[in-house]
Amino acid sequence: MNFLKNILSTILGVFIAFGIFFFLLILIASAIETDEVIEVKTQSVLKVTFDESILKDYAPKDESPLGILMEMDSDYLGLDQVLNAIEKAKTDENIEGISIEMKFLNAGMAQIQTLRKKLLEFKETGKFISAYADFYDQKNYYLSSAADSIFINPLGLVEFRGLSTEVLYYKDFEDKYGVKMEVIRHGKYKSAAEPFLFNKMSDENREQIKSFLTSIWDEMVKEIAVNRNKTAAELNILADNLGGRSADLASQNGLVDQVAYHDEYDSFLKRTIGIENDKILNTISLKDYIKAEKGRKTSVATDKIAIIYAQGEMIYGKGNQEFVGQELMIKSILKAKKDKDIKAIVLRINSPGGVAITADMIWRELELAKKEKPIVVSMGNLAASGGYYIACNANKIYAEPTTITGSIGVYGLIPNIHKFSETIGINAEQVSTNKAPNYSLFEPMTDDFNKVTQQSVEIIYNTFLNRVSTGRNMSVEKVDAIAQGRVWSGKEALKNGLVDELGSMEDAIKYAALIANTTDFKTVNYPQFKKEWKDAFDMVPFIKSSKTKMLKEELGEAQYQLYETMKNVSKLEGVQARLPYVLEIK
C-alpha cells in the first residue's frame, strides 16, 4: 500500500512540477512581450547586417506567449520582412541612407540577387548606400557591390575567385565500414545518388554542375560590372588572378573604393549626411527597423493575394518552418481556395525536393485549386526535383537567373549494413508466410526486391514526366530529353522551357494580380504556424542551438557538415524526388 502511495505521490509531484514549469514559461513570455518602442531618429542610417542570422524566404512569428518565448533566440530573418523594410526606408524621412556592414551572409544566391535589386531601387530615390567589411566573401561582395562606395579594413581582402561547390563521395567509406546505401534509380538518371555509388564525380555530373555554376557566375559578374564600371572580361581576369587578395590590391583593381578603419568609415557616413564629426551618428539595425513595424505591409484592401511558402526539404507528414509537409501545405492551399477575398495564389518555392508522394499530394491540391483561382510560381534559391514537381502545373512560373531548378528525376535510397553486421558477428534469419520479396537491413538486397522497387521508381518517374508534360504543354519526349535528373540554373531553365520568365517574387505577385483582375489588394502569408505545448518539451531553441554549437566545436565545420549529411540521409524514406546531392555554392 505504501509503495502505491509513493508511486501516486511521485506522479502527482511530476505533474505539479510541470505545471509550475509551464506557468513560469508563461510569466517569462509575458515579461518579454512588453511593448518596446523603437524610435527611428532623424538623420539615421539603416544598418543592413545579418551577422549570424539565416535569411529565409519566410520567417513567420507566433505571437502567442509560448511562441514568443520559443522564438526568443531565433536565428531566422524573413526575406519578405527585409524587402518590405527597405521599401519603407525609401520614403522614410528619417532614413538618410543604408550602410551594408556584413560579416557573414547566410543566404542563397537567388535571395541575394532579389535583395540586391531592392537595394538598387532604394538608390534610385537619391539616397546613398555605402558598404564596409573587414573582409568580403563572394556572397557579401556580390550584395555590397550595389553600394555607391565600398570600404574595406586595411588588413582585409575581397574573396573574388569564381564560384565553386564540393560534392562528398561515400563509396570508399561504405566499403571500409560495411555500411552502405542501396540505390535504385531511373536508368538514364546519371547523377542520382552518385555519391553513394562511386568514389569520384562522373563526367556527366561534372558537366551539369559546371554549366549551372557558370550560368550563375555570369549573371553575378554582369551585375557587378555595371556597378563597378568594369567589363565582365576585366572582372574574370581579376577572379583568375585573385585580384582582391589584399585590401590594397582590391583598391588598385577597383573592387573597392577606399581602404579604411571602421572609425574612418563612420566619419565618412557623418560627412555624407551632413553632421559634424564630433556628433553621434544615429544608426538603426535592420532587425530593430523591422521591429518598429517597418517590415510589414499594411493595407485596407479587401482583395487578397495568398503567398504560400514551400521552403525546406519535403517530408511525409505535417511539416514545419524547416520542412515541407503535405498536411500544412494542403491546409494552406484549401484555406486560400475557400477564401472568397483571395483572388490568386503565389506559390513561393525554395526546396530541393524530397519524398515523392508528398510532392504529388501537394501537386494534386494545387491542380484542384487552379480550377478556381490562378496560381503563379516564384522560385527562390532552389526549386528542384520535388520542388519543380509542385511548380510545373502553375499558370506561370518565374525564376531568378540564379535559381537552381530542374532535376526532374526520382530514386530510392535504402540503407544496408550486411557487411558491417558480419564483421561484428550478427546474423539475421527471416521467416515469411509468402513468397513476396522482403528486404532486410542485415541481408544483401535480392534481385526480386530490386526488380519490384525499380518498377516503383519507373512508375513515379513516368508520372513526373507526364505532370511536367501537361503543365508545361510539352511532349513527354521533350520533357524526358531535358529531365534525367539534369540540374539547370533559372537562366538555362528559361531557354529550355521549364520556366516562363525571369523575375522576382514581386514580379510574380504583380502578374497574379493582373490575371486575377485586381489592382487594389493585400498579401497574406501561408502556412501559419503556432507553437503547441508539446513543443516546449523540445526546449527549442535552447537545447537545439547549444547542441549544434557543441557539435561544431568538437567536430569542426567540415566534419559537422558530413555528420549533418549522413544524418539527413538516414532519415530518407520511400522514393525520393530531390536533388541528388547537397550543394553549397561559394
Hey, what's the cell of 63? 505571437
Within-domain flag for 145: yes
pLDDT at residue 68 is higher than 50: no
Query: Would residue 383 count as lying in a domain?
Result: yes
User: Is the pLDDT reported for residue 543 higher than 50?
Assistant: no
* Measured torsion, CA atoms of residues 187, 191, 193, 198, in degrees rounded to the nearest 10: 100
Among candidate residues 234, 263, 294, the one where a domain is terminated:
294
Strand partners, 488: 405
Predicted pLDDT of residue 266:
96
Please tell me whether residue 53 adopts helix, strand or coil conformation.
coil
In this structure, the answer to whether residues 313 and 285 fall within a common structural domain is: no
Q: Could you list the active site residues?
A: 190, 385
Average pLDDT over the chain, rounded to whole?
85
Looking at 321-475, list the stretches that DSSP marks H as alpha helix, in order from N- to C-terminal side. Answer: 326-338, 356-370, 386-389, 418-423, 447-472
Report the pLDDT averaged over residues 118-147.
Answer: 96
- pLDDT grade for 53, boundaries at 50, 70 and 90: confident
**Average pLDDT of the segment spanning 206-223:** 94
Q: Decide if 203 is inside a domain.
A: no
For residues 405 and 361, state if they share a domain: yes
Cis before 195 (ω within 30): no
Residue 25 has pLDDT above 50, yes or no: yes
Nearest to 373, CA basis, from 516, 274, 487: 516
388 pLDDT higher than 50 = yes
Name residues whose C-beta falls within 8 Å of residue 342's C-beta, 6 or more positions apart in sequence: 304, 305, 306, 336, 373, 524
Overall number of domains in the chain: 2
Neighbours of 300 (CB within 10 A): 6
Sign of CA dihedral 436, 442, 443, 448: positive
Q: How confident is the model at residue 582 (pLDDT cuts 50, 70, 90)?
A: low
Instruction: Supply the pLDDT for residue 418.
Output: 86
The residue to which cell 582585409 is assigned: 156
- Does residue 301 sit in helix, strand or coil? coil
Verify that 356 and 460 share a domain, yes or no: yes
Lowest-confidence range among 267-271, 475-479, 578-582?
578-582
Q: How far is CA 202 from the centre of its chain?
A: 27
Would you list the DSSP string of 476-518?
A: HHHHHHH-TT-EEEHHHHHHHTS-SEE--HHHHHHHHHHHTT-
Does one domain contain both 389 and 356? yes
Residues 391 and 282 in one domain: no
| 280 lies in the same domain as 353 | no
Q: Is residue 31, in this structure, part of any structural domain at all?
A: no
313's CB contacts (< 8 A; 6+ apart) are 323, 324, 351, 352, 353, 354, 568, 578
- The predicted model gives 11-28 an average pLDDT of 57
Q: What is the spatial distance between Cα 494 and Cα 48, in angstroms, rounded to a whole number?
A: 32
Q: What is the pTM of this model?
A: 0.84
Pairing type for strands 411-416 and 575-578 reads antiparallel
CB 351, CB 387: distance < 8 Å: yes
Q: Is residue 536 scored above 50 in pLDDT?
A: no
Look up the domain containing 252 and give its range. 44-161+242-294
Is pLDDT at 187 greater than 70 in this prediction? no
Select the more confidently predicted residue: 549 or 406: 406
- Name the residue among 440, 567, 562, 583 with its Cα closest to residue 170: 562
User: What is the reported pLDDT for 411?
Assistant: 83
Phi-psi region of 17 (alpha: psi -120 to 50; beta: other; left: phi over 0): alpha
In a domain, 551, yes or no: no
Mean pLDDT along residues 192-217: 90
Instruction: Check which CATH number belongs to the domain holding 87 and give it.
Output: 3.90.226.10
The residues, ordered by sequence, that sit 6+ positions from 497 with a Cβ below 8 Å of its Cβ are: 472, 474, 478, 482
